[in-house]
Structure 1
Amino acid sequence: MFQEILAFILAASGWVLVTSTLPTDYWKVSTLDGSVTITNTYWSNLWKSCVTDSTGSSSCKDFPSMLALDGYTQACRGLMIAAVCLGFFGSVFALVGMKCTKIGGSGKSKSRVTCFAGIDFILSGGCSLSGCSLYAYKITSEFYDPMVVEMKYELGAALFIGWAGSILCILGGIALCFSIVQSPKGLYEQKRYTVTVLYVADLPPPGYSSSVRMQHFDKNMYV
């Protein structure tokens, strides 16, 4: 139960971090490399692009059309939204399947729900990790490309938050999946205890003959 609680805290914290990256402004920020004087700072995320002047005032413009966006931006949007949805369902399944809650049915059904929750968190972390990595790859490839003469950007804070949340989701999901696995030692002790109880309960009364007692003992050993 303590392992499930710790795994849920890790996975839920990662999901919150992944969710917080969607409204975060700084996915990419204009670089200062090679600039003598900087008057404006350009930055953008998955939904808008903005510019901040030297006085601190910002002017933003939302992306007018989804179909007119770059392919990597559309892919990152889909992956991050999928990560948020999967993390939400994983949180619901985890609350239902954990042993410390009173809902979810029997122990066997709760274990299955907990396993589903762990898989959802792993998939959520994988989607978020893929989306942030794809966005970062596009930024770095343009930064080191000498043929690109346009403005170059650097990695924003949202990418690092997304990577951290993805790792927490994956670790928490793996811990939830392993929390329902019973160790072989525990299974062996439970089986030995069951055989011992059956043997003691089925002992013949003292008035039986030795031959009958031996036959009963052989039957117990076969079972």
Structure 2
Amino acid sequence: MSTAVEATGFIMCLLSWLLTGAALANDYWKISTVSGSVIISQRQFENLWHSCAENSAGIAECRDFESLLSLPGHVQACRALMIVSLLLGLASMVVSLLGLKCIKIGAAGDASKAKMAVTGGVLSILAGVCCLTAVSWYANMVVQDFYNPLYMGVKFEMGVGLYLGWGAACLSVLGGGLLSTACKRASPAVQKGVYKAPPTSETARAYV
């Protein structure tokens, strides 16, 4: 049963890593709202890397953000968090793959493999937290600007990229939790069901 649980956790971590990459590359982190507009001739959308405008014919033109230092602080932080999430997710998959019970690589014992699986699970949870922080922070800024009556710029709504990020974060945390159940087989004594009682005074006298 533990083998199936760990394998399921690894698959969830793999899917979460792919979804995190898809969320980071997605153009629609925020999209201009149609609330209060009767005729929409142009639609704007942005992600962490560029801003785009699409006309009624479906032709989009994008412009990359030219200066990193001129970007808002939350965009810079979200970039860093998403990249860290991808790196942690990659490390998690490599480490947990070597620690899976069903994978035999080298002469590593079951206890050491279990510790590697748990380490991979912890890394996956950290990757999920980084991704969750990034998309939630970005979404919070979108919502604040939308409801701010003093904001005079274009108002945006949350896009598909944010929902992909939330899904990736949930899968990463759940997969890491399943991998962390390998701690049950981290101790050989617990695994074999062997329990050695401490010597009593009569047993100690018998050896004298």
> Under a length normalisation based on structure 1, what TM-score does the superposition of the two structures give?
0.82
Q: For structure 2, which runs of at least 5 residues remain unmatched after alignment?
A: none
Deviation sequence 1:33-75 (CA, Å, 0-9, x none): 0111100000011100000001111111000011111101000
Shift of 1:118: 0.4
**Aligned-residue CA RMSD (Å):** 2.2
- Which range moved further: 5-14 or 138-147? 5-14
Query: What is the aligned counterpart of 1:180 among 178, 183, 191?
Result: 183
Cα distance in structure 2, aligned partners of 1:190 and 1:49 = 60
Larger Rg: 1
Deviation sequence 1:155-195 (CA, Å, 0-9, x none): 0000001001100100110111113315xxx9498236x89
Shift of 1:30: 0.2
- Which range moved further: 35-44 or 6-15? 6-15
Shift of 1:23: 1.1
Query: What is aligned with 2:101?
Result: 99
Aligned residues: 197
- The aligned runs of 1:85-124 (5 Å cut-off) are 85-103=87-105, 105-124=108-127
Query: What is aligned with 1:18?
Result: 20
Identical-pair percentage: 37
Cα distance in structure 2, aligned partners of 1:53 and 1:34 = 18
- The aligned runs of 1:98-177 (5 Å cut-off) are 98-103=100-105, 105-177=108-180
Query: What is the aligned counterpart of 1:36 among 33, 38, 43?
Result: 38
Does the 8 A contact of 2:27 with 2:45 survive in 1? yes
Q: Secondary structure of 2:194's match?
A: helix
Q: Which runs of 4+ in 1 moved over 3 A?
A: 186-189
Deviation sequence 1:127-174 (CA, Å, 0-9, x none): 000000000000000001111121100000000010011001001101
Letter in 2 for 1:159: L
Does the 8 A contact of 2:51 with 2:63 survive in 1? yes
Query: What is aligned with 1:47?
Result: 49
Q: Secondary structure of 2:61's match?
A: strand
Shift of 1:123: 0.3
Q: Secondary structure of 1:180's match?
A: helix
> Under a length normalisation based on structure 2, what TM-score does the superposition of the two structures give?
0.88
Letter in 1 for 2:69: L
Query: What is aligned with 1:68?
Result: 70
Shift of 1:9: 1.0
Does the 8 A contact of 2:184 with 2:190 survive in 1? no
Query: What is aligned with 1:214?
Result: none
Cα distance in structure 1, aligned partners of 2:140 and 2:193 = 52
Cα distance in structure 1, aligned partners of 2:20 and 2:76 = 17
Cα distance in structure 1, aligned partners of 2:184 and 2:150 = 54
Letter in 1 for 2:72: D
Q: For structure 1, which runs of at least 5 residues remain unmatched after alignment?
A: 196-217
Cα distance in structure 2, aligned partners of 1:188 and 1:121 = 25
Deviation sequence 1:91-146 (CA, Å, 0-9, x none): 00011111111125111211111111001100000000000000000000000111
Q: Secondary structure of 1:172's match?
A: helix
